[in-house]
Amino acid sequence: MPVLAVAKGVNQSPRKVAVVAALVRGRSVSEALTILEHTPRRSSLAVIKVIKSAQANADYNHGYKPNTLRISEISVSPGPRLKRFRPVARGAAHPFQKRTSHIRVVVDGELRKSKTDKPASKQTETSKTVNKVAEK
């Protein structure tokens, strides 16, 4: 079962974030974080945050082994645009837009075996005695 993390409304252009996201698409999480830490782009910080969030979600919420996680999908879509005006000569104003992005990361890996998993056929001595008492 893949694990998802999303960052919405990142104050960076989707075109610029997509360039950084393409660097790590399909790589392991540890390799992707190393690449992004050495990438001299402002948007790499936002992508790092989302990947770390997906890694934490997979580890704590879903029980995946952290060292086996791979980025199976990473996508950047445009978010809402903030419409603004810039003053220019002769008292005029030119419109421009501040673009935002939504970053979506999906990771997948191997599940950890939990200590509480016990086969259904094996019963402890106390559960056998409880069952016998319940039958009488």
The DSSP bridge partners found for residue 5 are: 105
Q: What is the pLDDT of residues 43-101, one digit of tens each?
A: 999 999 999 999 999 999 999 999 999 999 999 999 999 999 999 999 999 999 999 99
Please tell me the distance from the alpha carbon of residue 136 to that of residue 133, in angstroms, as a whole number. Answer: 5
Per-residue pLDDT, 129: 60
Question: Mean pLDDT, the chain, as a whole number?
Answer: 90
* Percentage of the residues of the chain whose pLDDT score is greater than 70: 83
Asked whether the beta carbons of 47 and 21 are under 8 A apart, the reply is yes
Long-range contacts of 110-114 (CB under 8 A, 24+ apart): 110/64, 110/65, 110/68, 111/62, 111/63, 111/64, 111/65, 112/63, 112/64, 112/65, 114/63
Confidence of residue 103 (pLDDT cuts 50, 70, 90): very high
Return the H-helix or E-strand segment holding 8.
Answer: strand 3-10
Predicted pLDDT at 105: 97
Would you identify the CATH topology of the domain 3-112? Ribosomal Protein L22; Chain A (3.90.470)
The pLDDT tens digits of the residues spanning 23-38 come to 999 999 999 999 999 9
- Is residue 120 pLDDT above 70, yes or no? no
**Alpha-helical segments (H) within 3-42:** 14-24, 29-37
